[in-house]
Structure 1
Amino acid sequence: MNAGDTAWMLASSALVLLMAPGLAFFYGGMVRAKSVLNMMMMSFIAMAIVPVAWFLYAYSLAFDDDVTGGLVGGLGHVGLNGITPETLTGTIPTYVFVVFQLTFAIVTVALVSGAVADRMKFVAWALFVPVWLTVVYAPVAHWVFAFDTEDAKGGWIANKLGALDFAGGTVVEISSGASALALALVVGKRVGWKRDPMRPHNLPSVLLGAGLLWFGWIGFNAGSALGANHLASLALINTVAAGAAAMLGWLAIEVLREGKGTSFGAASGLVAGLVAITPSCGSVSPMGALVVGAVAGGICAFAIGFKFKLGYDDSLDVVGVHLVGGLVGTLLIGLLASNAAIELLGFGQPGLFYGGGLDQLGKQVVAAAVVLVYAFTCTYVIATVIDRLIGLRIDEEHEITGIDQVEHLETAYDHAGSSTGGLG
């Protein structure tokens, strides 16, 4: 065990866990006042359900010795069987690795909730979380994060395909964005969507949430080095660079279109850049990270409008930011992966702009496409089954009066019933 690596991973685990309440504030500020508690509780209940399922069996499915040709892990670590306080993963205790990976799972499923703000039954969401974790997240995490070792075989994307995804562009961002689209399609549009004003009710909360996410994202990306090392420093500087460039990129689009930059655009642009740099933070240079961030900020600023053209109600733009941003970051690796970063990483090939040809780009396309299709298809089936069993959506009358009072017997503010704020 290396004490420095262990200390950094303990800190990284805490940083990533903070992203869940950060996301709750980020999403909570975006919805109307009558829905803020329910929106935040969807993140908080994930913080309760996911750890229990993770410790019981989901960690084993994601990281146990592969038993299916790279598709899913076995059941050798059910109930954390075979893991003791002395067991090591690399240079850190395996218990620390288990919790670090757990925090990724919590954040990923919480991201999906933004697509169904205002209208999904809380009990249906509580059922959706462990089923989705089992069917979608754990297998995809095995594909991408489980590398072959002397003692165990890992997933097909990491070990057979050879696509690069340092901290979860496919596992976290593309899977949550594709799943959000599927869930939104099954649940259906909000009452009054496109007709009624649905503006954010608390922009300071949105900015606070975005700031907490950026803070936690340091652990998310730099922690994925699994040690206090040179690779962690590269992920750190790239995370800061991409977040800043993306915020400027999004604001630039707003200024060109509207003549003004908004606080909501600044927060959204920041998150778009963090999403895009997640897969690429270990394979691009700091200058490449600036490009990744700027491109993601600009593209995602346009992508959030897709829902109005295509007719799906993705309430908080999970598709436009996380799916699109994840695709941007995953694919740009094939163009921008630098020779120095690849040498430090120890595997993969440089991108096209660094003389590596199209080979790595092709691998990135395959990984992104497979995860997108798998997550969307499985989530659509899961949502349809739950809908038929217990129903996904609250009554229209309750949606109009406010989901907080109906689902939680509470309101966030005494004046919530008179609020007209929210996000369109």
Structure 2
Amino acid sequence: MEATDVWTLASAALVLIMTPGLALFYGGLVRVRSVVNMMLFSVSAMGVVGVLWILFGYSMSYFADGESGFAGNPFKDFGLIETDPATFIGVGFGAVFAMITTALISGAIADRVGLGSWVLFAGVWATLVYFPVAAWVWGGGWIMQLGTWLGTPEVIDLAGGTAIHINAGAAALALAIVAGKRVGFAPGSHKPHSVPLVTIGAALLWFGWIGFNGGLATEVGEAGLILVNTLAAPAAAILGWIITDVLRGKKPGVVGAASGAVGGLVAITPSAANLSPLWALLLGLIAGAACALAIDLKYRLGYDDSLDVVGLHLVAGLIGSLYLGFFAFDDGLFTGGNGGLLLVQAIASFGVLIYSFVVSLLIALGVKALTGLRVPSEVEETGIDSVAHGEEAYALVEPAEASLPSAR
């Protein structure tokens, strides 16, 4: 087995742990009575998307010779029955990306949506949105061919600025709009219940992101650049978020710093192999500041994106994807005097945004018609965990033990 295959195998393990890390990050951000529900959304996404990926998602995510159109033929590798085992490492690497992309969306609907509604949405969304978009970006589809068609540099998306973060962020916006606002939705009304869980979750995300961005690197120099940039951007984004909070009169906190790190990681995802570390630092500062401001838009615009999937993933994904058009090696507007890359980055970014938002909106409306989508308001107030799942995140009081005969 080649050394690059070993690294991709290890990277798949790194990315796999990101979804449980996301569960911890999201679980810490919600109120104590909906922790189980929120974490189960991430874990259930791993289940439903993992199964669909093996059945037909992998087949849809790339175009074989002679294929073209909306997505790959879902039956050509159905169930991976006749798939060449030599490709299985790549199949597995793609599976963990599909899992976490879908799980990201769930943060937008915390505290108020039932598990069955979420699982139905997740399965249909992966089928109609993620699998086709992955084919467009990495599997030979129109985004991969855009530069050739227009006579410009090719679209750059190393690990998913468009296919993952813009895609999930646009879907989160659509789903949040359809789900409606939480009971008592207002600034400061739904505070994170566990700052330590948020910190641990963010740490696991950053840890796994090394494999997320660098899993397909084939040369030492490329892998090293990806590593340094995946450290530089989130580090600068932490500072960008904290400085922005201080300048606007907010007290700096760990939740903001952790969110800043995630925003920086999102922004560097498409560009970690195509920026110098200095430009990665600037990208992180911009992303951290922009995301700190963007998370408050939900109160002004009136949509309830519970855990700021839009403010982090959509905003930072757009910034990171478009930033390449200015500062990418050789082809950026400021680094090579070429506006062609900026053009194709914008077309790809907004193309995915519009497609994901529209289709996600239709899926969410369909799920709402079938299931109602939301839990009853009294369940939301009482707590989804105990009513819907029969579990609580913390057993703070031990059940009374049966009385035993006293010792004599």
Q: Same fold (TM over 0.5)?
A: yes
Corresponding residue SS for 1:385? helix
Q: Distance in 2 between matches of 1:263 and 1:274?
A: 17
Determine whether 1:174 maps to 2:195: no
Aligned to 1:240: 231
Corresponding residue SS for 2:269? helix
Shift of 1:6: 1.3
Q: Distance in 2 between matches of 1:188 and 1:109?
A: 20
Aligned pair partner of 2:340 in 359, 364, 387: 359
Shift of 1:83: 1.6
Gaps of 5+ in 2: 148-153, 398-408
Q: Distance in 2 between matches of 1:196 and 1:208?
A: 23
Matches within 5 A, 1:8-407: 8-65=7-64, 69-74=68-73, 75-85=75-85, 87=86, 94-146=87-139, 154-161=140-147, 162-194=154-186, 197-225=189-217, 227=218, 229-258=220-249, 260-339=251-330, 350-407=331-388
TM-score, L = length of structure 1: 0.89
What are the Cα deviations for residues 19-67 of structure 1, in whole angstroms up to 9, with x where unaligned?
A: 0000000000000000001000000111111111100001100024176
Letter in 2 for 1:211: A
What are the Cα deviations for residues 310-369 of structure 1, in whole angstroms up to 9, with x where unaligned?
A: 000000000000000000000000001023xxxxxxxxxx10111232110011110011
Q: Classify 1:9/1:270 alpha carbon distance in 2 versus 1 (closer, same or farther; 3 Å).
A: same
Q: Classify 1:259/1:138 alpha carbon distance in 2 versus 1 (closer, same or farther; 3 Å).
A: closer
Q: Distance in 2 between matches of 1:275 and 1:295?
A: 12
RMSD: 1.5
Corresponding residue SS for 2:215? helix
What are the Cα deviations for residues 211-257 of structure 1, in whole angstroms up to 9, with x where unaligned?
A: 000000000001143x3543222211111111101111101111212
**How many aligned positions are there?**
390
Q: Distance in 2 between matches of 1:77 and 1:181?
A: 33
Corresponding residue SS for 1:284? coil
Letter in 1 for 2:282: V
Q: Distance in 1 between matches of 2:65 and 2:240?
A: 42
Q: Distance in 2 between matches of 1:248 and 1:142?
A: 36
What are the Cα deviations for residues 254-308 of structure 1, in whole angstroms up to 9, with x where unaligned?
A: 1212263210111000000000000111211111111111110011110001101
Shift of 1:160: 2.9
Aligned to 1:413: 394
Q: Distance in 1 between matches of 2:33 and 2:167?
A: 29
TM-score, L = length of structure 2: 0.93
Corresponding residue SS for 1:405? helix
Q: Distance in 1 between matches of 2:269 and 2:65?
A: 25
Gaps of 5+ in 1: 88-93, 147-153, 340-349, 417-424
Q: Distance in 2 between matches of 1:286 and 1:356?
A: 20
Q: Classify 1:164/1:405 alpha carbon distance in 2 versus 1 (closer, same or farther; 3 Å).
A: same
Letter in 2 for 1:362: L
Q: Distance in 2 between matches of 1:68 and 1:183?
A: 32
Q: Distance in 1 between matches of 2:81 and 2:320?
A: 36
Q: Distance in 1 between matches of 2:387 and 2:91?
A: 36
Shift of 1:112: 0.1
C-alpha contact (below 8 Å) 2:170/2:356 kept by paired residues: yes
C-alpha contact (below 8 Å) 1:296/1:328 kept by paired residues: yes
C-alpha contact (below 8 Å) 2:146/2:344 kept by paired residues: no
Q: Distance in 1 between matches of 2:89 and 2:180?
A: 40
C-alpha contact (below 8 Å) 1:69/1:156 kept by paired residues: no
Moved over 3 A (4+): 66-70
Shift of 1:195: 7.1
Q: Distance in 2 between matches of 1:66 and 1:305?
A: 47
Aligned to 1:346: none
Q: Distance in 2 between matches of 1:260 and 1:393?
A: 34
Shift of 1:122: 0.5
Q: Distance in 2 between matches of 1:124 and 1:228?
A: 44
Shift of 1:102: 0.6
Letter in 1 for 2:82: G
Letter in 1 for 2:362: V
Aligned to 1:422: none
Letter in 1 for 2:190: M
Q: Distance in 2 between matches of 1:29 and 1:64?
A: 40
- Tell me which moved more, 404-413 or 271-280: 404-413
Q: Distance in 2 between matches of 1:174 and 1:57?
A: 23
Q: Classify 1:66/1:415 alpha carbon distance in 2 versus 1 (closer, same or farther; 3 Å).
A: farther
Q: Distance in 1 between matches of 2:175 and 2:298?
A: 14
Letter in 1 for 2:123: P
